[in-house]
Protein backbone atom coordinates (compact mmCIF):
# COMPACT_ATOMS: atom_id res chain seq x y z
CA UNK A 1 0.00 0.00 0.00
CA UNK A 2 1.40 3.41 -0.83
CA UNK A 3 -1.31 6.12 -0.54
CA UNK A 4 -3.70 6.19 2.39
CA UNK A 5 -6.40 8.79 2.89
CA UNK A 6 -7.51 8.45 6.47
CA UNK A 7 -10.82 9.96 7.55
CA UNK A 8 -10.34 13.23 5.63
CA UNK A 9 -12.68 16.12 6.37
CA UNK A 10 -12.79 19.72 5.18
CA UNK A 11 -15.05 22.71 5.79
CA UNK A 12 -15.20 26.09 4.07
CA UNK A 13 -16.82 28.99 5.89
CA UNK A 14 -18.69 26.71 8.26
CA UNK A 15 -19.98 24.45 5.46
CA UNK A 16 -18.82 20.86 5.63
CA UNK A 17 -17.60 19.99 2.13
CA UNK A 18 -15.91 16.64 2.67
CA UNK A 19 -16.57 14.20 5.44
CA UNK A 20 -14.96 10.95 6.47
CA UNK A 21 -13.14 10.15 3.23
CA UNK A 22 -10.92 7.12 3.57
CA UNK A 23 -9.33 4.89 0.96
CA UNK A 24 -6.06 3.17 0.05
CA UNK A 25 -4.25 3.12 -3.26
CA UNK A 26 -1.64 0.46 -3.93
CA UNK A 27 1.37 0.49 -6.23
CA UNK A 28 0.33 0.59 -9.89
CA UNK A 29 -3.34 1.03 -9.02
CA UNK A 30 -5.68 3.62 -10.41
CA UNK A 31 -8.72 5.11 -8.70
CA UNK A 32 -11.43 7.19 -10.36
CA UNK A 33 -13.47 9.34 -7.99
CA UNK A 34 -16.85 10.36 -9.36
CA UNK A 35 -19.11 12.90 -7.78
CA UNK A 36 -21.48 15.69 -8.76
CA UNK A 37 -20.06 19.07 -9.73
CA UNK A 38 -19.08 21.13 -6.72
CA UNK A 39 -19.14 18.21 -4.29
CA UNK A 40 -15.56 18.78 -3.15
CA UNK A 41 -13.61 16.51 -5.50
CA UNK A 42 -11.03 19.21 -6.18
CA UNK A 43 -10.69 19.86 -2.44
CA UNK A 44 -9.99 16.16 -1.99
CA UNK A 45 -7.21 16.21 -4.60
CA UNK A 46 -5.71 19.35 -3.07
CA UNK A 47 -5.53 17.61 0.29
CA UNK A 48 -4.00 14.49 -1.26
CA UNK A 49 -1.36 16.63 -3.01
CA UNK A 50 -0.49 18.55 0.13
CA UNK A 51 -1.65 21.86 -1.41
CA UNK A 52 -4.21 22.17 1.37
CA UNK A 53 -4.48 20.67 4.83
CA UNK A 54 -7.49 18.63 5.92
CA UNK A 55 -9.45 19.88 8.94
CA UNK A 56 -9.56 16.32 10.16
CA UNK A 57 -7.79 13.11 9.22
CA UNK A 58 -4.50 12.76 7.39
CA UNK A 59 -2.89 11.65 4.11
CA UNK A 60 0.01 9.20 4.13
CA UNK A 61 2.39 8.29 1.33
CA UNK A 62 4.21 5.06 2.14
CA UNK A 63 3.37 5.59 5.77
CA UNK A 64 4.75 9.14 5.98
CA UNK A 65 2.23 11.98 6.46
CA UNK A 66 1.83 14.37 3.53
CA UNK A 67 2.08 17.84 5.04
CA UNK A 68 2.83 19.88 1.92
CA UNK A 69 3.53 19.63 -1.82
CA UNK A 70 6.27 17.16 -2.68
CA UNK A 71 7.95 16.16 -5.96
CA UNK A 72 6.73 12.61 -5.22
CA UNK A 73 3.18 13.70 -6.02
CA UNK A 74 2.24 15.40 -9.30
CA UNK A 75 -1.13 17.01 -9.80
CA UNK A 76 -2.73 17.99 -13.10
CA UNK A 77 -4.99 20.90 -12.28
CA UNK A 78 -8.27 21.73 -13.92
CA UNK A 79 -7.59 24.08 -16.90
CA UNK A 80 -4.10 22.53 -16.97
CA UNK A 81 -2.44 25.28 -14.89
CA UNK A 82 0.17 25.96 -17.57
CA UNK A 83 1.97 29.26 -17.17
CA UNK A 84 1.06 31.37 -20.22
CA UNK A 85 4.30 33.38 -19.99
CA UNK A 86 6.56 30.34 -20.25
CA UNK A 87 7.23 28.31 -23.38
CA UNK A 88 5.94 24.75 -23.59
CA UNK A 89 9.34 23.23 -22.80
CA UNK A 90 9.85 25.60 -19.86
CA UNK A 91 6.41 24.68 -18.53
CA UNK A 92 7.24 20.99 -18.71
CA UNK A 93 10.63 21.59 -17.08
CA UNK A 94 9.19 23.74 -14.28
CA UNK A 95 9.01 20.95 -11.70
CA UNK A 96 12.60 19.96 -12.44
CA UNK A 97 13.65 23.60 -12.19
CA UNK A 98 12.22 24.01 -8.69
CA UNK A 99 14.00 20.80 -7.74
CA UNK A 100 17.28 22.39 -8.84
CA UNK A 101 17.97 20.22 -11.90
CA UNK A 102 20.51 22.03 -14.15
CA UNK A 103 19.01 23.81 -17.15
CA UNK A 104 20.54 21.64 -19.90
CA UNK A 105 19.46 18.43 -18.16
CA UNK A 106 15.93 19.57 -17.41
CA UNK A 107 15.38 20.80 -20.97
CA UNK A 108 16.62 17.48 -22.32
CA UNK A 109 14.23 15.56 -20.05
CA UNK A 110 11.35 17.92 -20.87
CA UNK A 111 11.90 17.54 -24.63
CA UNK A 112 12.04 13.76 -24.31
CA UNK A 113 8.79 13.76 -22.30
CA UNK A 114 7.10 16.03 -24.85
CA UNK A 115 8.21 13.66 -27.62
CA UNK A 116 6.72 10.71 -25.71
CA UNK A 117 3.39 12.52 -25.72
CA UNK A 118 3.54 13.38 -29.41
CA UNK A 119 4.46 17.01 -28.80
CA UNK A 120 8.00 17.05 -30.22
CA UNK A 121 8.60 20.28 -32.09
CA UNK A 122 6.22 22.31 -29.94
CA UNK A 123 8.75 23.12 -27.23
CA UNK A 124 9.36 26.73 -28.15
CA UNK A 125 5.67 27.60 -28.55
CA UNK A 126 3.60 29.27 -25.85
CA UNK A 127 0.55 27.54 -24.32
CA UNK A 128 -1.85 30.13 -25.77
CA UNK A 129 -0.94 29.06 -29.29
CA UNK A 130 -1.85 25.42 -28.60
CA UNK A 131 -5.23 23.73 -28.91
CA UNK A 132 -6.95 22.43 -25.76
CA UNK A 133 -5.83 18.86 -26.47
CA UNK A 134 -2.23 19.94 -27.00
CA UNK A 135 -2.27 21.95 -23.78
CA UNK A 136 -3.49 18.87 -21.95
CA UNK A 137 -0.64 16.81 -23.42
CA UNK A 138 1.79 19.45 -22.13
CA UNK A 139 0.16 19.26 -18.69
CA UNK A 140 0.52 15.47 -18.69
CA UNK A 141 4.15 15.80 -19.80
CA UNK A 142 4.80 18.24 -16.97
CA UNK A 143 3.26 15.90 -14.44
CA UNK A 144 5.22 12.85 -15.61
CA UNK A 145 8.60 14.42 -16.30
CA UNK A 146 9.68 14.58 -12.67
CA UNK A 147 8.99 10.84 -12.26
CA UNK A 148 6.40 11.20 -9.50
CA UNK A 149 5.34 8.23 -7.40
CA UNK A 150 1.72 9.31 -7.44
CA UNK A 151 -0.37 11.26 -9.96
CA UNK A 152 -3.49 13.26 -9.20
CA UNK A 153 -5.74 14.39 -12.05
CA UNK A 154 -8.50 16.94 -11.60
CA UNK A 155 -11.13 16.58 -14.34
CA UNK A 156 -8.29 16.54 -16.84
CA UNK A 157 -10.29 16.14 -20.02
CA UNK A 158 -13.57 17.83 -19.17
CA UNK A 159 -13.12 20.84 -21.44
CA UNK A 160 -12.14 18.85 -24.53
CA UNK A 161 -14.29 17.65 -27.41
CA UNK A 162 -15.31 13.98 -27.36
CA UNK A 163 -12.76 12.73 -29.89
CA UNK A 164 -9.81 14.59 -28.36
CA UNK A 165 -10.92 13.39 -24.93
CA UNK A 166 -10.86 9.74 -26.06
CA UNK A 167 -7.44 10.20 -27.68
CA UNK A 168 -6.00 11.72 -24.54
CA UNK A 169 -7.52 9.07 -22.32
CA UNK A 170 -5.72 6.54 -24.50
CA UNK A 171 -2.49 8.56 -24.25
CA UNK A 172 -2.78 8.63 -20.46
CA UNK A 173 -3.36 4.89 -20.38
CA UNK A 174 -0.36 4.32 -22.67
CA UNK A 175 1.91 6.31 -20.36
CA UNK A 176 0.45 4.56 -17.32
CA UNK A 177 1.04 1.16 -18.93
CA UNK A 178 4.71 2.03 -19.42
CA UNK A 179 5.29 3.69 -16.07
CA UNK A 180 2.65 2.10 -13.83
CA UNK A 181 2.49 5.28 -11.76
CA UNK A 182 -0.60 4.99 -9.57
CA UNK A 183 -3.10 7.79 -9.98
CA UNK A 184 -6.26 9.22 -8.48
CA UNK A 185 -8.50 10.86 -11.03
CA UNK A 186 -11.59 12.88 -10.18
CA UNK A 187 -14.27 13.32 -12.77
CA UNK A 188 -17.99 13.86 -13.08
CA UNK A 189 -18.08 11.64 -16.18
CA UNK A 190 -19.08 8.06 -15.43
CA UNK A 191 -17.71 6.90 -18.77
CA UNK A 192 -14.33 8.47 -18.08
CA UNK A 193 -14.28 6.78 -14.68
CA UNK A 194 -14.85 3.39 -16.33
CA UNK A 195 -12.13 3.96 -18.92
CA UNK A 196 -9.51 5.29 -16.50
CA UNK A 197 -10.25 3.74 -13.11
CA UNK A 198 -9.30 0.25 -11.94
CA UNK A 199 -11.52 1.08 -9.00
CA UNK A 200 -14.30 3.64 -9.06
CA UNK A 201 -15.32 5.45 -5.90
CA UNK A 202 -18.69 7.20 -5.94
CA UNK A 203 -19.10 10.26 -3.73
CA UNK A 204 -22.30 11.69 -2.39
CA UNK A 205 -23.21 15.35 -2.78
CA UNK A 206 -22.23 17.79 -0.01
CA UNK A 207 -20.86 16.92 2.38
CA UNK A 208 -19.15 14.50 0.04
CA UNK A 209 -18.30 11.10 1.41
CA UNK A 210 -17.61 7.78 -0.34
CA UNK A 211 -20.79 5.77 -0.69
CA UNK A 212 -19.76 2.95 -3.00
CA UNK A 213 -16.64 1.48 -4.57
CA UNK A 214 -16.83 -0.49 -7.82
CA UNK A 215 -14.24 -2.88 -9.12
CA UNK A 216 -13.44 -2.51 -12.83
CA UNK A 217 -11.61 -5.61 -14.08
CA UNK A 218 -11.85 -4.43 -17.70
CA UNK A 219 -9.62 -1.43 -16.93
CA UNK A 220 -6.71 -1.03 -19.32
CA UNK A 221 -8.47 -2.64 -22.29
CA UNK A 222 -8.13 -0.19 -25.18
CA UNK A 223 -11.58 -1.18 -26.49
CA UNK A 224 -13.33 -1.24 -23.12
CA UNK A 225 -16.01 1.11 -24.42
CA UNK A 226 -17.29 -1.63 -26.73
CA UNK A 227 -17.48 -4.36 -24.10
CA UNK A 228 -20.58 -5.71 -22.42
CA UNK A 229 -18.83 -5.40 -19.03
CA UNK A 230 -18.42 -1.66 -19.61
CA UNK A 231 -22.13 -1.22 -20.36
CA UNK A 232 -23.05 -3.22 -17.27
CA UNK A 233 -20.73 -1.21 -15.03
CA UNK A 234 -21.98 2.07 -16.47
CA UNK A 235 -25.57 1.00 -15.82
CA UNK A 236 -24.74 0.09 -12.23
CA UNK A 237 -22.92 3.37 -11.70
CA UNK A 238 -25.81 5.31 -13.18
CA UNK A 239 -28.32 3.61 -10.89
CA UNK A 240 -26.11 4.38 -7.90
CA UNK A 241 -25.58 8.05 -8.71
CA UNK A 242 -29.21 8.66 -9.72
CA UNK A 243 -30.23 7.79 -6.21
CA UNK A 244 -27.55 10.04 -4.72
CA UNK A 245 -27.00 13.19 -6.80
CA UNK B 1 -2.03 44.93 -49.36
CA UNK B 2 -0.42 47.54 -47.12
CA UNK B 3 -0.92 46.67 -43.47
CA UNK B 4 -2.10 49.27 -40.97
CA UNK B 5 -0.07 47.37 -38.39
CA UNK B 6 3.06 49.15 -39.62
CA UNK B 7 3.77 51.93 -37.09
CA UNK B 8 5.27 54.14 -39.81
CA UNK B 9 2.15 53.95 -41.90
CA UNK B 10 -0.04 54.53 -38.85
CA UNK B 11 1.89 57.61 -37.83
CA UNK B 12 1.97 58.79 -41.45
CA UNK B 13 -1.80 58.56 -41.79
CA UNK B 14 -2.41 60.31 -38.45
CA UNK B 15 0.00 63.08 -39.39
CA UNK B 16 -1.68 63.50 -42.75
CA UNK B 17 -5.15 63.87 -41.20
CA UNK B 18 -3.91 66.21 -38.46
CA UNK B 19 -1.96 68.21 -41.06
CA UNK B 20 -5.08 68.65 -43.16
CA UNK B 21 -7.13 69.80 -40.14
CA UNK B 22 -4.28 72.10 -39.13
CA UNK B 23 -4.14 73.56 -42.66
CA UNK B 24 -7.89 74.24 -42.64
CA UNK B 25 -7.65 75.92 -39.21
CA UNK B 26 -4.61 78.01 -40.31
CA UNK B 27 -6.46 79.15 -43.44
CA UNK B 28 -9.49 80.10 -41.36
CA UNK B 29 -7.35 82.06 -38.85
CA UNK B 30 -5.21 83.83 -41.44
CA UNK B 31 -1.96 81.99 -40.68
CA UNK B 32 -0.51 84.44 -38.12
CA UNK B 33 -1.35 83.06 -34.66
CA UNK B 34 -1.58 79.57 -36.12
CA UNK B 35 1.12 79.21 -38.77
CA UNK B 36 0.51 77.09 -41.83
CA UNK B 37 1.65 73.48 -41.27
CA UNK B 38 4.13 73.60 -44.16
CA UNK B 39 5.80 76.68 -42.60
CA UNK B 40 5.90 75.04 -39.15
CA UNK B 41 7.28 71.82 -40.62
CA UNK B 42 9.93 73.73 -42.58
CA UNK B 43 10.96 75.59 -39.38
CA UNK B 44 10.98 72.26 -37.51
CA UNK B 45 13.12 70.61 -40.21
CA UNK B 46 15.58 73.51 -39.99
CA UNK B 47 15.63 73.27 -36.17
CA UNK B 48 16.50 69.59 -36.45
CA UNK B 49 19.81 70.63 -37.99
CA UNK B 50 20.65 73.03 -35.14
CA UNK B 51 22.58 72.20 -32.02
CA UNK B 52 20.36 74.31 -29.74
CA UNK B 53 17.23 72.26 -30.58
CA UNK B 54 18.96 68.98 -29.78
CA UNK B 55 20.29 70.42 -26.53
CA UNK B 56 16.74 71.27 -25.44
CA UNK B 57 15.52 67.91 -26.70
CA UNK B 58 18.33 66.07 -24.91
CA UNK B 59 17.64 67.79 -21.59
CA UNK B 60 13.91 67.04 -21.82
CA UNK B 61 14.52 63.44 -22.88
CA UNK B 62 16.97 62.97 -20.01
CA UNK B 63 14.43 64.28 -17.48
CA UNK B 64 11.56 62.20 -18.89
CA UNK B 65 13.50 58.95 -19.32
CA UNK B 66 15.19 59.20 -15.91
CA UNK B 67 11.84 59.87 -14.25
CA UNK B 68 10.16 56.97 -16.08
CA UNK B 69 12.97 54.58 -15.16
CA UNK B 70 12.92 55.71 -11.54
CA UNK B 71 9.12 55.51 -11.33
CA UNK B 72 9.13 52.00 -12.77
CA UNK B 73 12.06 50.88 -10.65
CA UNK B 74 10.36 52.02 -7.45
CA UNK B 75 6.67 51.44 -8.17
CA UNK B 76 6.78 48.06 -9.92
CA UNK B 77 8.50 46.18 -7.05
CA UNK B 78 6.34 48.02 -4.53
CA UNK B 79 3.21 47.09 -6.49
CA UNK B 80 4.37 43.46 -6.53
CA UNK B 81 4.95 43.59 -2.79
CA UNK B 82 1.61 45.19 -1.98
CA UNK B 83 -0.30 42.94 -4.37
CA UNK B 84 1.17 39.76 -2.98
CA UNK B 85 1.63 40.41 0.75
CA UNK B 86 -1.76 40.99 2.29
CA UNK B 87 -0.42 42.50 5.51
CA UNK B 88 1.79 44.97 3.68
CA UNK B 89 -1.14 45.95 1.50
CA UNK B 90 -3.39 46.51 4.52
CA UNK B 91 -0.75 48.83 5.93
CA UNK B 92 0.24 50.73 2.80
CA UNK B 93 -2.94 50.79 0.68
CA UNK B 94 -4.70 53.47 2.82
CA UNK B 95 -1.71 55.82 2.30
CA UNK B 96 -1.76 55.24 -1.44
CA UNK B 97 -5.49 55.53 -1.97
CA UNK B 98 -5.99 58.52 0.31
CA UNK B 99 -3.24 60.47 -1.45
CA UNK B 100 -4.05 59.16 -4.96
CA UNK B 101 -6.69 61.81 -5.78
CA UNK B 102 -4.43 64.69 -4.61
CA UNK B 103 -3.11 66.45 -7.74
CA UNK B 104 0.60 65.89 -7.14
CA UNK B 105 1.53 68.69 -9.53
CA UNK B 106 0.56 71.27 -6.85
CA UNK B 107 3.58 70.03 -4.89
CA UNK B 108 5.95 71.42 -7.51
CA UNK B 109 6.79 74.57 -5.47
CA UNK B 110 7.58 72.34 -2.49
CA UNK B 111 9.84 70.17 -4.68
CA UNK B 112 11.57 73.31 -6.03
CA UNK B 113 12.19 74.48 -2.46
CA UNK B 114 13.44 71.10 -1.28
CA UNK B 115 15.39 69.92 -4.35
CA UNK B 116 16.36 73.19 -5.98
CA UNK B 117 15.78 74.59 -9.46
CA UNK B 118 17.86 71.95 -11.26
CA UNK B 119 16.86 68.65 -12.83
CA UNK B 120 16.22 66.86 -9.51
CA UNK B 121 12.97 68.67 -8.68
CA UNK B 122 11.61 68.19 -12.20
CA UNK B 123 12.54 64.51 -12.35
CA UNK B 124 11.10 63.95 -8.86
CA UNK B 125 7.80 65.58 -9.87
CA UNK B 126 7.36 63.38 -12.95
CA UNK B 127 8.51 60.31 -11.02
CA UNK B 128 5.96 60.87 -8.27
CA UNK B 129 3.04 61.28 -10.65
CA UNK B 130 3.98 58.33 -12.84
CA UNK B 131 4.89 56.06 -9.92
CA UNK B 132 1.36 56.31 -8.53
CA UNK B 133 -0.09 54.99 -11.77
CA UNK B 134 2.42 52.17 -12.08
CA UNK B 135 2.04 51.22 -8.41
CA UNK B 136 -1.75 51.05 -8.44
CA UNK B 137 -1.93 49.23 -11.79
CA UNK B 138 0.73 46.68 -10.80
CA UNK B 139 -0.77 46.07 -7.38
CA UNK B 140 -4.25 45.54 -8.86
CA UNK B 141 -2.73 43.34 -11.58
CA UNK B 142 -1.03 41.10 -9.02
CA UNK B 143 -4.26 40.76 -7.06
CA UNK B 144 -6.05 39.62 -10.20
CA UNK B 145 -3.63 36.73 -10.95
CA UNK B 146 -5.60 33.49 -11.09
CA UNK B 147 -4.85 31.29 -8.05
CA UNK B 148 -4.31 28.28 -10.34
CA UNK B 149 -0.90 29.66 -11.35
CA UNK B 150 0.24 29.81 -7.73
CA UNK B 151 -1.13 26.30 -7.14
CA UNK B 152 0.62 25.15 -10.28
CA UNK B 153 4.06 26.21 -8.98
CA UNK B 154 3.39 25.24 -5.38
CA UNK B 155 2.16 21.79 -6.40
CA UNK B 156 5.55 21.19 -8.03
CA UNK B 157 7.21 21.95 -4.73
CA UNK B 158 7.99 25.60 -5.60
CA UNK B 159 9.21 27.94 -2.87
CA UNK B 160 8.13 31.56 -2.36
CA UNK B 161 11.10 32.58 -4.50
CA UNK B 162 9.88 30.25 -7.29
CA UNK B 163 6.39 31.73 -7.02
CA UNK B 164 7.85 35.24 -7.27
CA UNK B 165 10.01 34.38 -10.24
CA UNK B 166 7.65 32.07 -12.12
CA UNK B 167 4.29 33.71 -11.44
CA UNK B 168 4.28 37.11 -9.76
CA UNK B 169 6.86 38.93 -11.86
CA UNK B 170 5.89 37.61 -15.31
CA UNK B 171 2.15 37.98 -14.60
CA UNK B 172 2.60 41.54 -13.29
CA UNK B 173 4.93 42.72 -16.06
CA UNK B 174 2.17 43.46 -18.61
CA UNK B 175 0.35 45.59 -16.02
CA UNK B 176 3.51 47.50 -15.15
CA UNK B 177 4.35 48.06 -18.80
CA UNK B 178 0.82 49.13 -19.72
CA UNK B 179 0.95 51.74 -16.96
CA UNK B 180 4.37 52.88 -18.20
CA UNK B 181 3.17 53.09 -21.80
CA UNK B 182 0.04 55.02 -20.90
CA UNK B 183 2.14 57.10 -18.53
CA UNK B 184 4.32 58.45 -21.36
CA UNK B 185 1.61 60.99 -22.24
CA UNK B 186 1.33 62.08 -18.61
CA UNK B 187 5.12 62.27 -18.30
CA UNK B 188 5.44 64.58 -21.29
CA UNK B 189 2.54 66.74 -20.06
CA UNK B 190 4.12 67.10 -16.62
CA UNK B 191 7.50 67.67 -18.25
CA UNK B 192 6.08 70.59 -20.21
CA UNK B 193 4.63 72.07 -17.02
CA UNK B 194 7.79 71.72 -14.93
CA UNK B 195 9.95 73.09 -17.75
CA UNK B 196 7.76 76.11 -18.32
CA UNK B 197 9.36 78.07 -15.47
CA UNK B 198 12.46 78.20 -13.29
CA UNK B 199 14.62 76.77 -16.07
CA UNK B 200 16.27 77.87 -19.31
CA UNK B 201 16.67 74.40 -20.77
CA UNK B 202 14.28 71.86 -22.23
CA UNK B 203 11.53 71.78 -24.85
CA UNK B 204 8.96 73.18 -22.39
CA UNK B 205 11.16 76.22 -21.86
CA UNK B 206 11.69 76.49 -25.62
CA UNK B 207 7.93 76.55 -26.25
CA UNK B 208 7.17 79.13 -23.56
CA UNK B 209 10.17 81.28 -24.47
CA UNK B 210 9.08 81.40 -28.12
CA UNK B 211 5.48 82.06 -27.07
CA UNK B 212 6.61 85.02 -24.94
CA UNK B 213 8.54 86.40 -27.90
CA UNK B 214 5.53 85.85 -30.19
CA UNK B 215 7.75 83.55 -32.30
CA UNK B 216 4.97 81.18 -33.25
CA UNK B 217 7.08 79.15 -35.64
CA UNK B 218 9.63 78.64 -32.84
CA UNK B 219 6.76 77.72 -30.51
CA UNK B 220 5.52 75.08 -32.94
CA UNK B 221 9.05 73.76 -33.35
CA UNK B 222 9.05 73.08 -29.61
CA UNK B 223 5.54 71.59 -29.74
CA UNK B 224 6.50 69.27 -32.61
CA UNK B 225 9.71 68.36 -30.77
CA UNK B 226 7.75 67.43 -27.66
CA UNK B 227 5.25 65.44 -29.75
CA UNK B 228 8.14 63.60 -31.39
CA UNK B 229 9.61 62.82 -27.97
CA UNK B 230 6.23 61.63 -26.63
CA UNK B 231 5.74 59.35 -29.62
CA UNK B 232 9.29 57.98 -29.27
CA UNK B 233 8.83 57.29 -25.54
CA UNK B 234 5.49 55.57 -26.23
CA UNK B 235 7.06 53.37 -28.90
CA UNK B 236 10.02 52.50 -26.67
CA UNK B 237 7.63 51.50 -23.85
CA UNK B 238 5.58 49.55 -26.38
CA UNK B 239 8.69 47.76 -27.66
CA UNK B 240 9.82 46.91 -24.13
CA UNK B 241 6.37 45.48 -23.38
CA UNK B 242 6.40 43.40 -26.55
CA UNK B 243 9.87 42.07 -25.81
CA UNK B 244 9.26 41.32 -22.13
CA UNK B 245 5.70 39.98 -22.57
CA UNK B 246 5.99 38.17 -25.90
CA UNK B 247 3.33 35.68 -24.81
CA UNK B 248 0.71 38.44 -24.64
CA UNK B 249 0.83 39.06 -28.38
CA UNK B 250 0.30 35.54 -29.68
CA UNK B 251 -2.57 34.12 -31.63
CA UNK B 252 -4.24 30.85 -30.68
CA UNK B 253 -4.26 28.03 -33.21
CA UNK B 254 -7.62 27.52 -34.85
Same domain, B19 and B125: no
Contact B101, B45 (CB under 8 A): no
Higher pLDDT, B25 or B32: B25
Tell me how close the Cα of B144 comes to any Cα of chain A, in angstroms: 15
Chain A nearest CA to B142, separation (Å) = 14
- In this structure, the answer to whether residues A120 and A168 fall within a common structural domain is no
Chain A residues within an 8 Å CB radius of B170: 83, 85-86
* Domain end marker among A114, A147, A180: A147
Interhelix angle B51-84/B216-244, nearest 10 degrees: 40
pLDDT for the residue A35 = 84
Please give, rounded to a whole number of angstroms, the shortest distance from the CA of B8 to a CA of chain A. 28
Co-location of B171 and B106 in the same domain: yes
Strand partners, B112: none
Position B191 scores a pLDDT of: 92
Q: Which residues 173-192 in chain B show a CB within 8 A of chain A?
A: 173
Q: Which residue in B157, B162, B246 is closest to A71 by CB distance?
A: B157
Query: Which region, left, alpha or beta, applies to residue B87 given φ > 0 means left and ψ of -120 to 50 means alpha?
Result: alpha
For residues A155 and A204, membership in a common domain is answered with yes
- B253·A74 Cβ contact <8 A: no
Same domain for A98 and A191, yes or no, is no
Residue B159 placed within a domain: yes
Which of A23, A42, A10 lies closest to A155, judged by CA? A42
Are A91 and A138 in a shared domain? yes
Check whether residue B12 and residue B55 sit in a common domain: no
Q: Please check whether residues A123 and A11 belong to one and the same domain.
A: no
pLDDT above 60 for B253: no
Q: Is residue A164 part of a domain?
A: yes
- If asked whether residues A135 and A223 sit together in one domain, one would say no
Per-residue confidence (pLDDT) for residue A1, from 0 to 100: 55
Q: Which residues of A touch B145 (CB under 8 A)?
A: none
A84 in B contact zone (CB under 8 Å): yes
B127 domain residue, yes or no: yes
The answer on B70 and B17 residing in a single domain is: no
Residue scoring higher pLDDT (B139 or A234): B139
For residue B210, tell me if it sits in a domain: yes
Same domain flag for A43 and A163: yes
pLDDT in tens, B185-235: 999 999 999 998 778 889 999 999 999 888 888 999 999 999 999 999 999
> Is residue A163 a part of any domain in this protein?
yes
Task: Say which residue, B10 or B114, is predicted with more confidence.
Answer: B114
> What DSSP state is assigned to residue B201?
-
Q: Are residues B47 and B27 in the same domain?
A: no
pLDDT per position as a tens digit, A115-147: 988 888 899 999 999 988 899 889 989 998 988
Range of the domain at A120: 82-147
At B107 the pLDDT is 87
B207 in any annotated domain: yes
Strands A73-76 vs A30-34: parallel, antiparallel or unpaired = unpaired
Q: Contact B156/A94, CB-based, under 8 Å?
A: yes
DSSP letter string over B138-169? HHHHHHTS-HHHHHHHHHTT--HHHHIIIIIH
- Together in a domain, B113 and B180: yes
Please indicate, yes or no, whether residues B11 and B98 belong to a single structural domain of this protein: no
Looking at the fold, whether B67 and B119 belong to one and the same domain comes out as yes
pLDDT at res. B4: 64
B247 pLDDT tier (thresholds 50, 70, 90): confident
Q: Would an 8 Å CB–CB cutoff place B158 in contact with chain A?
A: yes
Q: Which domain holds residue B225?
A: 39-249
- Residue A192's contacts (CB-CB under 8 Å, 6 or more residues apart) are A32, A157, A165, A169, A185
Last residue of a domain, one of A147, A176, A197: A147
| pLDDT (0 to 100) of residue B101 | 84
Chain A to chain B Cβ contacts (< 8 Å): 74
| B11 and B80 both lie in a single domain | no
Q: What is the CATH number of the domain that holds B107?
A: 1.10.3720.10
The reply to whether residue B166 touches residue A81, judged by beta carbons under 8 angstroms, is: no
Q: Considering only CB atoms, which chain A residues are within 8 Å of B245?
A: 85
pLDDT at B2: 55
Domain boundary among A129, A147, A165: A147
* Cβ contacts of A66 on chain B, cutoff 8 Å: none
Predicted confidence (pLDDT) at residue B252 exceeds the cutoff of 70: no
- The maximal CA–CA distance of chain B, rounded, in angstroms, is 73
Q: Which residues on chain A are in Cβ contact (under 8 Å) with B246?
A: 126
- Would you tell me how many other CB atoms lie within 10 Å of the CB of residue A87? 18
Q: Residue A92: which pLDDT band, with cuts at 50, 70 and 90?
A: very high
Quick check: B149 and A71 CB within 8 A?
no
- Please indicate, yes or no, whether residues A100 and A187 belong to a single structural domain of this protein: no
**Interval B162-173 mean pLDDT:** 94
Task: Check residue A207 and give its pLDDT.
Answer: 84
Lowest-pLDDT range of A80-84, A175-179, B161-165: A175-179
**Are B3 and B49 in the same domain?**
no
Domain co-membership, B99 together with B146: yes
For the range A51-55, what are the long-range contacts, defined as Cβ-Cβ under 8 Å and sequence gap of 24 or more?
A51/A75, A51/B151, A51/B154, A51/B155, A52/A10, A54/A8, A54/A9, A54/A10, A54/A18, A55/A9, A55/A10, A55/A11
Assign residue A43 the CATH number of its domain: 3.40.50.300
Q: How far is A223 from chain B, CA to nearest CA, in Å?
A: 30
d(CA A31, CA A179): 16
B64 alpha-carbon distance from chain centroid: 8
CA-CA distance, A17 to B127, in Å (whole number)? 50
Domains contained in chain B, number: 2
8 Å CB contact of A74 and B151? no
Query: What was the pLDDT predicted at B30?
Result: 79
CB-closest option in A83, A99, A129 to B167: A83
Closest CA to B172 of B106, B76, B238, B87: B76
Q: Kindly state whether residue B254 falls inside one of the protein's structural domains.
A: no
**Do A114 and A22 share a structural domain?**
no
In chain A, the number of structural domains is 2
Which H or E run includes B88? helix B86-99
pTM score: 0.82
The DSSP string of A110-148 is HHHHHHHTT-TT-TTS-GGGS-HHHHHHHHHHHHHHT--
**Reported confidence tier of residue B120, pLDDT bands at 50, 70, 90:** very high
Chain A CB contacts of B247 below 8 Å: 84-86, 126, 128
Residues A201 and A191 occupy one common structural domain: yes
Contact in structure between B119 and B70 (CB atoms under 8 Å): no
pLDDT digit string, tens, across residues A145-185: 988 999 999 988 887 888 888 888 888 888 888 888 899 99
> What whole-number distance in Å separates Cα of residue B154 and Cα of residue B147?
11
Mean pLDDT of A44-65: 92
Q: Are strands A30-34 and A64-65 parallel, antiparallel or unpaired?
A: unpaired
Per-residue pLDDT at A45 exceeds 80: yes
Q: Which of A86, A85, A96 is nearest to A142 (CA)?
A: A96
Give A8's strand partners. Answer: A21
Task: Give the C-alpha separation, B153 to B144, whole Å.
Answer: 17
* Tens digits of residue pLDDT in B35-93: 898 999 999 999 999 999 999 999 999 999 999 999 999 999 999 999 999 999 999 99
Q: Are residues A52 and A156 in the same domain?
A: yes
Pairing label, strands A64-65, A210-215: unpaired
Chain B within 8 Å of A51 (Cβ-Cβ)? yes
Residue B29 lies in a domain: yes
* Residues B15 and B107 grouped into a single domain: no
Q: Please give the pLDDT value at position B200.
A: 85
Query: CA B176, CA B174: separation in Å to the nearest integer?
Result: 5
Question: Do residues A68 and A9 both lie within one domain?
Answer: yes
Amino acid sequence: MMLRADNLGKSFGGTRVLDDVSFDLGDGETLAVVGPSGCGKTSLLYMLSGLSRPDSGAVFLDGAPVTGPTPDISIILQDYGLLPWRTVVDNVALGLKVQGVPRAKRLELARAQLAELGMAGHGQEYPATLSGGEQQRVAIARAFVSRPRLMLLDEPFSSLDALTRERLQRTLLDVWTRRKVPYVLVTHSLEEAVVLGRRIMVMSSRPARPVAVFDNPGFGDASIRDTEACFRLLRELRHTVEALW
Amino acid sequence: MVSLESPLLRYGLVMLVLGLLWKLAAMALGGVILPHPEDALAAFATALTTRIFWEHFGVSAYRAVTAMALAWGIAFPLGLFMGSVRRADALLAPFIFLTYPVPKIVLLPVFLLLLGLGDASKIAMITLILAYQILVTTRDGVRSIHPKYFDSVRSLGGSRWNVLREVLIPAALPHGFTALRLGTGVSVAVLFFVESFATTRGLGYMIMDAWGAMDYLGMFTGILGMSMMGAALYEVANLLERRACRWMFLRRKT
